[in-house]
Amino acid sequence: MKQRLAVMVGFFVVALALATSTASAHMQAIYHGGTYFGSVVVEPGQVVDGDLTVIFGDATIFGTVDGDLNVIGGNADQRPGSVITGEVNNVGGDVAQTVVPWAPSESPYNPFVPDPRVLWRLSWNLLALLVFLIFPLRTRMVLDRLEGHPGLSVTAGLLGCIAVIPLAVLLAITILLIPLIPLELIFVLAGVFLGTAALALLIGRRLCELLSPATTPSPLLALLVGITLITAAELVPVVGTLVLLFVGLIGLGATMLSFGGDAFAAPVAAPSARAPKSGTTMATG
């Protein structure tokens, strides 16, 4: 049964990863103006009537756009022979790459080359796997706080993010404590990775138990399934940004609660006392 579960979940993970990579690398072809989320392409010889607005994606133009082209959070790529009768307004894309140099750059449209954003997000979340392998006990403690206090974990993560900058300023004012500022940033990143590993472990375990209630999945298998699902959710336009923020907040908050000792430990249900049996006692022969 365990081998069957592993094969079934492994097939699901591979299929989900391939589908996510294909969907992220694919550009949707459009035939009329309007607002679109994700990368789009105007094919050669095609005429798009009206203004075209693209949000969180690239606009690759081979044909004609009879109106304005507005690209927010991506790049406007005008190929030779393309025609845009209106104005071209581009916010984001290369500008965002200048402000955030470590962010993945937008690549030209090529259906045979995987989107680097998929590899970037997957490699980022796989660091949570490394953290789990190095600190398995701490990850389980974070998982315990996450299961017992999910709302408090989000609140603690939000307060922690707000307190990062004032605490860094306070350390800088003291001068002698300036070396602690990098340690603060390391703690925040470690907390996010620990929380991501715990959340992925929880999601993967719930899914495996749903597929096969009679078996208990191994922590490593559950973690891989959870990381795949979180990565796929983070790649969804607009919603993925919210998922990324939520994972970071709840992960950091649960990690902070794990250092609170037994005060935030999940309550253990006391064993229920059995009611005394009524009636005469049967003699044993």
**Distance between CA atoms of 35 and 45, rounded to whole angstroms?**
21
Identify whether residues 146 and 247 lie together within a single domain: yes
Residue 24 has pLDDT above 80, yes or no: no
Tokens read off for 228: 């795949």
Q: What is the pTM of this model?
A: 0.54
Q: What percent of the chain has pLDDT over 70?
A: 72
Question: What is the domain extent for residue 34?
Answer: 27-111
Please tell me the predicted confidence (pLDDT) of residue 203.
Answer: 92
Instruction: Give pLDDT, residue 27.
Output: 67
Q: Are residues 188 and 64 in the same domain?
A: no
* pLDDT tens-digit series, residues 53-112: 988 788 999 999 999 999 887 888 889 889 999 988 887 655 444 444 444 444 444 444
Q: What is the pLDDT of residue 190?
A: 87
Whether 195 and 247 have beta carbons less than 8 Å apart is answered as yes
Over residues 3-22, the pLDDT tens digits come to: 444 444 454 444 444 444 44
Place of tokens 């500008």: 95
* 14 domain-assigned: no
Could you tell me which of 73, 86, 110 has the C-alpha nearest to residue 33? 86
Higher pLDDT, 14 or 236: 236
User: What is the DSSP track for 4-48?
Assistant: HHHHHHHHHHHHHHHHHHHHHH--EE-SS-EEEES-EEE-TT-EE
Rounded distance, CA 174 to CA 110, Å?
53
Give the torsion sign (CA, 85, 87, 93, 95). positive
The answer as to whether 283 is a domain residue is: no
Question: Is pLDDT at 199 greater than 70 in this prediction?
Answer: yes
**Is 270 within a domain?**
no
Pair (92, 173) in one structural domain: no
Domain boundary among 78, 111, 144: 111
Three-state secondary structure call for residue 241: helix
Decide: 205 and 221 in contact? Cβ < 8 Å.
no
Per-residue pLDDT of 124-160, as tens digits, reads 778 888 888 898 999 999 999 988 898 999 899 999 8
Tell me, yes or no, whether 169 and 253 share the same domain: yes
pLDDT at 13: 45
Nearest residue to 202 (alpha-carbon basis) of 237, 159, 236, 247 = 247
Q: What is the mean pLDDT of the chain?
A: 76
Burial class of 208 by CB neighbour count within 10 A (0 to 12, 13 to 18, 19+) = buried
* Residue 1 is assigned to a structural domain of this protein: no
Residue 86, domain member (yes or no): yes
Q: For residue 159, what pLDDT is reported?
A: 92
